[in-house]
Structure 1
Amino acid sequence: MTEIRHIVFDIGKVLIHYDPELPYRRLIPDQEKRLRFLDEICTSDWNIEQDRGRRWEDAEALLIERHPHEEELIRSFRRHWREMVPHSYDGSVAIMEGLIEAGHDVTMLTNFAADTFSEAKEMYPFLHKPRGVTVSGEVGLIKPDERIYRTHAETFGLTPEATLFIDDSEKNVEGAKAAGWNAVHFTDPEKLRADLKSFGVL
């Protein structure tokens, strides 16, 4: 097995919590109505296009044209975005910081809208600690598209077979493997420590 020289972290649900339902529990108290709104209007498929680079103004206009009576709730998605990322995962953040302090090459690769990622960096200073980050909304590509892994490797000079990627999404893990990386599925810090040990990193 090739020695791991580069470690790449996903961010959402690996380093920081993300749940778009959180502000809507307040805005739409009725659970059935709330889930229907998120399943049928401000859907994950709609939101992922902002991660790909679509402007929020265009995304909102698209939905408001279809659902004019829901304009305020549609605009609330971006307006109350900070409520969706209320805390970090201290265990995995500690692992990442420990790797950096030990001299490992650590970068990040994330599906994130460019503007909300800027806000996330303000909220969570540890996001400045890795050597760098590829943000999907800035490059116009999203995981698990193999091209975003290649872009990240080229940008930061990573050797694919010497790279280990950590992501909470199994399809993104498979995308990394298709790009020639090693990759592990994140579920909790304990499993991550075990995975890192299995690759000879810890």
Structure 2
Amino acid sequence: MEIKNIIFDFGGVLMDWDPRYFFKNYFNDNERMEYFLKNIAQDEWNIEQDRGRSLAEGTEIQVKKFPEWEKEIRAFYDNWTVMLKSDIPQNVEVLRKLKNTDYNLFGLTNWSEETFPYALENYDFFQIFEGKIVVSGTEKLIKPDPKIWHILLERYDIKAEESVFIDDNTKNIEMAKSLNFHTIQVDPETNLEQELIKLGIKIG
């Protein structure tokens, strides 16, 4: 079946976000930083904010659990914009080329509803999606929950079999495959343009 739709995850695909960009200088001690990110401000905690919990509530919950780390926990979202280092230029370039084609372009991202507007305002390439973006924090659902893909499919009246989904996360890719999407898993070495061409995508 011909591919008509191209769906982008954002973090790790179009945006380079990593808490280490802030905490490396904050701690000046890699071992302590890694301990903090693995055990205190871990992914499982941050993803609840992506699921729709407010940053303030998430922060207070963690401060109560780990009062001795209060200063560091509060620094997390206070310095979130430093963690959003930049776009990923080679992949954004592919997105810009796709703008001039007949493919429908969508975003499907695990992102807090409170922090996503900052990215929208500061990176112009998001305008290419013309608002066709499903944000986990708004929907109160996160990948790899299949329901968030169904929201995208139903909202924009598209079919998984006619869509390619691009993400850096293995679990998300596996779920998308099980829902009949074509998939591309990216890492820093991936040539996204070549991977799309392999699927028969004609890039302008």
Identity %: 32
* Corresponding position: 1:14 with 2:13: yes
How far did residue 124 of structure 1 move? Answer: 0.9
How far did residue 187 of structure 1 move? Answer: 2.1
Aligned position for 2:74: 75
Partners of 2:12 and 2:148 in 1: CA distance: 19
Counterpart residue identity of residue 129, structure 2: P
How many residues are paired up?
Answer: 201
Partners of 2:175 and 2:164 in 1: CA distance: 13
Please give the root-mean-square deviation of Cα atoms over the aligned residues, in Å. Answer: 1.3
Aligned position for 1:121: 120
Name structure 2 gaps, 5 residues minimum. none
* Corresponding position: 1:112 with 2:111: yes
Partners of 1:77 and 1:191 in 2: CA distance: 32
Aligned position for 1:60: 59
What secondary structure is seen at the aligned counterpart in 1 of 2:194? helix
Counterpart residue identity of residue 97, structure 2: G
Describe the shift of the 1:3–1:188 C-alpha distance in structure 2 as closer, same or farther (beyond 3 A). farther
Counterpart residue identity of residue 154, structure 1: E
1:64-99 Cα deviation digits (max 9, x unpaired): 112222212101110000111111111110101111
| TM-score normalised per structure 1 | 0.95
After TM superposition, the structure 1 = structure 2 runs for residues 86-101 of structure 1, keeping only pairs within 5 Å, are: 86-101=85-100
Counterpart residue identity of residue 92, structure 1: N
Aligned position for 1:197: 197
| TM-score normalised per structure 2 | 0.94
Partners of 2:43 and 2:36 in 1: CA distance: 11
How far did residue 188 of structure 1 move? Answer: 4.5
- Stretch deviating more after TM superposition (183-192 or 50-59): 183-192
After TM superposition, the structure 1 = structure 2 runs for residues 146-161 of structure 1, keeping only pairs within 5 Å, are: 146-161=146-161
Partners of 1:177 and 1:150 in 2: CA distance: 13
Partners of 2:58 and 2:79 in 1: CA distance: 15
| Runs of 4+ with >3 A deviation | none
After TM superposition, the structure 1 = structure 2 runs for residues 174-189 of structure 1, keeping only pairs within 5 Å, are: 174-188=174-188
